[in-house]
Chains A and B, each alone.
Chain A
Amino acid sequence: DTGVSQNPRHKITKRGQNVTFRCDPISEHNRLYWYRQTLGQGPEFLTYFQNEAQLEKSRLLSDRFSAERPKGSFSTLEIQRTEQGDSAMYLCASSFGGVGNEKLFFGSGTQLSVL
């Protein structure tokens, strides 16, 4: 197992375009998380899944953002009609543990630049 894998590593897009990122978690992990990180800040929670169920979305998350985990394995995060403010590092993490024991293992992230 090579850990959490994210693709692509970098994405440059023009404002108004749609982008999709993929995350492959550690295979036995049932929880998958998406975070966003901007320069000089800590990771900001976006959403998370337990198996295929999306359990929580941040209230800060715009309707332009949607995430799926159709078979409880890999996940995709789509951003529609991108804006310059969406430029950030998008981090995926996975875990296998009950509530209160959330050792998250992170991927290397997808760096999004919106021009």
Chain B
Amino acid sequence: GEDVEQSLFLSVREGDSSVINCTYTDSSSTYLYWYKQEPGAGLQLLTYIFSNMDMKQDQRLTVLLNKKDKHLSLRIADTQTGDSAIYFCAETHQGGKLIFGQGTELSVKP
């Protein structure tokens, strides 16, 4: 099917690491993306990874890609209360459109 799957909720304490997981479907996706959405706002591109890479690090963000299992993860180091938001993974489908998961709501407790 076309479903990109994510767990719905994650709760962590400030200063801990957060790991958000995603399973995608289209093995031909050239890029895979992570977006962040704060309440009442549109989606903000956080980071992305090219499909021939296993890992990408960008400051506090680390993206891991397991192509064999079609598994993507986003690790946020030293999570802050400002990181509380909904995080979406997305894959590219034929024709260039992005298909999004349901989103993972990250709650950071002080």
Contact = CB atoms under 8 A, between A and B. Distances in A.
Interface of A is mostly: loop
B92 A100 contact: yes
Contacts, number: 65
B43 A43 contact: yes
A108 interface: yes
B64 interface: no
A102 B40 CA distance: 24
A42 B88 contact: yes
A100 B45 contact: no
A42 B31 contact: no
A100 B31 contact: yes
Interface of A: 4, 31, 33, 40-45, 48, 55-56, 91, 93, 99-109
9 contacts: A33-B98, A42-B100, A93-B43, A101-B30, A103-B48, A104-B45, A106-B35, A106-B42, A108-B42
Given A100-B30, A101-B30, A108-B42, A45 B102 contact: no
Query: What range describes how many residues of B lie at the interface?
Result: 20 to 34
A33 B92 CA distance: 13
A104 B35 CA distance: 10
Contacts of A108: 40-42
A45 B31 contact: no
Given A105-B45, A106-B43, A108-B41, A45 B30 contact: no
Contacts of B90: 42
Nearest to A35: B100
B20 to A, nearest CB: 13
Contacts of B103: 40-42
